[in-house]
Homo-oligomer: A and B are copies of this chain.
């Protein structure tokens, strides 16, 4: 039907379109809605067609994560290393708030993508520029963990609270009876729903508290001339358990 010289009416599939549509699906409907079959449907092709452009689903997720990490754009800040490091992490967080599915995809990647290595290179460079030793920077990067990528793993995200007032009352009474300290702790701080990555209480206040605690501690250890080996508090700690 179509003349051989004219391209097909449908835009030909390519890797960029596949990844872009996958990102759109995750943004709109969540990561659990993304399957190779549903993605093929959205693109109006047969599932097998996708395998021309990504070798499998894991590679598609790799590409999606790479694209999201590439969106992280720290603002230019003063040349204080700690403030610069803080801004880089907060920039990552801004990106994660825009892609609520991304943290789940990031934490299942096996190796860092090029964009991830670029991000790590920038962060490590910033910390080293402050004079922190390579081993200290290495430990600080581990201590930051997922916070480098703008989220903190909320292990037991306090799930959706019971909306029924009576059920809420009963849950509270059970907590008070068996877990009074947990209840007191939960009540002691209000959480901001609107600045949280995902469910639970990984909100701005908790995130910045932990971030500043880590960066301040890193600065202190550096100033005190930390070196690898014994515990920083001076207690002896020799040998494996």
Contacts and interface: CB of A to CB of B under 8 A. Distances in A.
Candidate in A107, A137, A143, A154 with the most chain B CB atoms within 10 angstroms: A143
Contacts of A180: 121
Contacts of A90: 241
A185 interface: yes
B214 A233 contact: no
A72 interface: no
Interface string A190-206: 00101100000110101
A213 B216 CA distance: 10
Contacts of A194: 240
B142 A146 contact: no
A184 B134 contact: yes
B212 A231 contact: yes
19 contacts: A107-B107, A107-B153, A110-B159, A117-B178, A121-B182, A124-B182, A124-B184, A125-B181, A135-B188, A137-B188, A138-B189, A139-B210, A142-B206, A143-B210, A195-B240, A208-B231, A213-B214, A213-B217, A216-B233
Given A145-B152, A145-B210, 19 more contacts: A107-B107, A107-B153, A109-B155, A120-B179, A120-B182, A121-B182, A124-B185, A133-B188, A134-B185, A134-B187, A138-B185, A139-B206, A142-B210, A143-B213, A148-B155, A194-B240, A212-B231, A213-B214, A213-B232
Interface of A: 90, 94, 106-107, 109-112, 114, 116-118, 120-121, 124-125, 128, 133-135, 137-139, 141-143, 145-146, 148-149, 152-159, 178-182, 184-189, 192, 194-195, 201-202, 204, 206, 208-210, 212-214, 216-217, 221, 228, 231-233, 237, 240-241
